Amino acid sequence: MPQAAATGSNDTTFLKLLRVEVLDAGSIWKKLNPVDDLQINVALGEYFKTSGLPQYYRVWANSIFVYPAPSSATTTLASGLRIYFQRTMDEFVATDTTQLPGFAANFHRILSLGGAYDYAIAKGLTQANSLRSEIEQYKKDLQIFYGYKNREQRIRIRPSQMGYIAI
């Protein structure tokens, strides 16, 4: 079956596939479109049987298959595939001395406020309410920050269409 497969080096931390790109022979990155088995109406071995510049990708188990399979005439075969994905969180442990939280640095203070709030609650301190309101303000600011992080991309909500079969 003509395809190329790329297996993740650490599939236990993989959370969500975001985007797949391929480098063409002219050194231009091309975005691949996802396809699933329901969209392929022929045997997988017959789907884009002739090698060329990949246009589609399919995820199966821990692998990504590109269609058509890359050819050396149209595709950069060495280091010519980019996969964008999200990973699961990497939790802090007591021995971490250099690890940073995985969100914007100007909001890291929310972590120390959370610890202070927990302490204030446990000790019955009156500052607990002011700490709680400061945490809530940081949360709002953090949501606004990430909501506008990419101003070039318009955020849209689109209705999903589902097909039902009448019985």
pLDDT attached to residue 150? 52
Distance CA 26, CA 67 (A): 19
pLDDT attached to residue 118? 96
Pairing of strands 56-60, 63-67: antiparallel
pTM here?
0.53
One digit per residue, the tens of pLDDT, for the chain of length 167 reads: 334 444 444 556 666 788 999 999 999 999 999 998 888 889 988 899 999 999 999 988 778 899 999 999 998 888 899 998 877 777 888 888 888 888 888 999 999 999 999 999 999 999 999 999 999 999 999 888 877 755 555 556 666 666 666 66
The angle that helices 128-147 and 109-123 make with each other, rounded to 10 degrees, is 150
